């Protein structure tokens, strides 16, 4: 019953069981749940997900509704569920500003939601070719070199990311690389928050300082300087997190990006492989 109706509370389950000829009180249901570590909705969902992953069973309508309810709740609170590097990455476009002699400057941002490893590249325009170029030039070579599969990318529904799969450059590129594309809902409070927070940090700690120190005449000069800042951001700067790492909350904790040294990526996946082969 906990698997079949994970969203039901103890009294509703008791009523359902009575209809099936099983007499048990709501407190009795809770006692059973406690013995099996199923007393909360969240724990019952985790147990259901584990069962589905292990047995490959087909979900009922009630089970699907419960999982969708949990997903919507996480999104409403700005949580991102992620399990390992490459599991879910976020990409977004950020308008940096206008510089005389260069013109409008747009930044393509890409963040691995598990490790918070960030990439950024500046352009003078934004379109689907630019969005695809960012992946082709920066992310895919890095993930391939680390033998880390890039499974899914989260974007908003901007025209640079969203279009006909048969003709849109970005959609075509993702399909070619077998990367799943997830989009935030239009007109929804839920946004690509991890990128938005990064953009605020980068404006304050990088761009505001760079543009006070130096007058830029070429886009490549800006790119060189933000690469230096990203090296610090990715390897030294501590940061707060609001993500669900596997089954563990990292909400508002502090994580040191020293974990991102390349050798640690390989150690992580070697460890995961040993577990799966046991």
Residues 93 and 215 in one domain: yes
Residue 205 DSSP code: I
Residues 223 and 117 in one domain: yes
Does 19 lie in the same domain as 119? no
Q: Is residue 253 part of a domain?
A: no
Residues 129 and 166 in one domain: yes
Supply the CATH number for residue 129's domain.
3.30.420.10
Q: Are 159 and 128 in contact (CB under 8 A)?
A: yes
CB burial readout 51-73, b (16+ within 10 A) else e = eeeeeeeeeeeebeebbeebeee
What DSSP letter does each residue of 98-154 carry, written as one string? EETTTEEEEEEEEEETTT--EEEEEES--SHHHHHHHIIIIIHHHHHHTT----EEE
Task: Supply the pLDDT for residue 236.
Answer: 80
> Which residue segment(s) compose the domain that 187 sits in?
89-236
In a domain, 162, yes or no: yes
Please tell me the total count of domains within the chain: 2
Q: Which of 56, 77, 98 is the last residue of a domain?
A: 77
Q: Specify whether the CB–CB gap between 257 and 238 falls below 8 A.
A: yes
Same domain, 93 and 222: yes
pTM of the model: 0.63
Structural domain includes residue 224: yes
Task: Note the pLDDT of residue 247.
Answer: 37
Residue 83: inside a domain: no
- Considering the domain architecture, whether residues 35 and 137 belong to the same structural domain is answered as no
Q: 214 and 118 share a domain?
A: yes
Q: Which one-letter DSSP state was computed for residue 218? A: S
What's the rounded Cα separation, in Å, for the pair 67 and 4? 12
Check whether residue 59 and residue 145 sit in a common domain.
Answer: no
Per-residue pLDDT, 275? 38
Angle (nearest 5°) at CA 153 between 120 and 143: 65
- Asked if residue 250 belongs to a domain, the reply is no
Q: How many CB atoms lie within 10 A of CB 34?
A: 10
Residue 10: its pLDDT value, please? 77
**Residues 123, 224: one domain?**
yes
Predicted pLDDT at 261: 47
Mean pLDDT, 10 residues at a time, the chain of 278 residues: 66 80 85 80 70 65 62 51 84 95 96 91 97 94 90 92 91 93 70 84 94 94 96 77 42 40 48 40
In a domain, residue 178? The reply is yes
Residue 242's pLDDT is 45
- Distance from CA of residue 243 to its chain's centroid? 8
Residue 165 domain flag:
yes
* pLDDT of amino acid 83: 74
């Amino acid at each position: 019953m906990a698997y079949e109706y994970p969203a039901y509370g103890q009294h509703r389950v008791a009523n359902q069981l009575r209809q099936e000829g099983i007499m048990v009180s709501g407190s009795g249901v809770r006692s059973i749940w406690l013995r099996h570590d199923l007393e909360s909705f969240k724990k019952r969902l985790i147990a259901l997900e584990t069962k589905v992953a292990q047995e490959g069973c087909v979900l009922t309508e009630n089970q699907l509704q419960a999982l969708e309810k949990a997903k919507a709740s996480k999104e409403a609170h700005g949580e991102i569920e992620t399990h390992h590097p490459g599991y879910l990455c976020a990409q977004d476009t950020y308008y940096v500003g206008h510089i005389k002699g260069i013109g409008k400057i747009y930044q393509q941002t890409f963040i691995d939601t598990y490790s918070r490893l960030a990439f950024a590249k500046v352009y003078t325009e934004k379109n689907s070719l630019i969005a695809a170029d960012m992946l082709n030039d920066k992310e895919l070579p890095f993930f391939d070199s680390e033998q880390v599969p890039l499974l899914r990318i989260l974007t908003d529904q901007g025209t640079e990311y969203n279009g006909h799969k048969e003709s849109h450059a970005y959609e075509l590129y993702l399909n070619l690389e077998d990367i799943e594309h997830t989009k935030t809902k239009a007109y929804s409070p839920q946004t690509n928050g991890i990128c938005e927070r990064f953009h605020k940090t980068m404006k304050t700690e990088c761009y505001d300082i760079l543009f006070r120190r130096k007058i830029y005449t070429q886009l490549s000069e800006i790119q060189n300087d933000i690469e230096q800042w990203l090296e610090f951001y990715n390897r030294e700067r501590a940061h707060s997190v609001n993500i669900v790492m596997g089954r563990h909350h990292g909400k508002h904790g502090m994580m040191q990006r020293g974990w991102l040294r390349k050798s640690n990526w390989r150690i992580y996946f070697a460890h995961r492989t040993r577990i799966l082969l046991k």
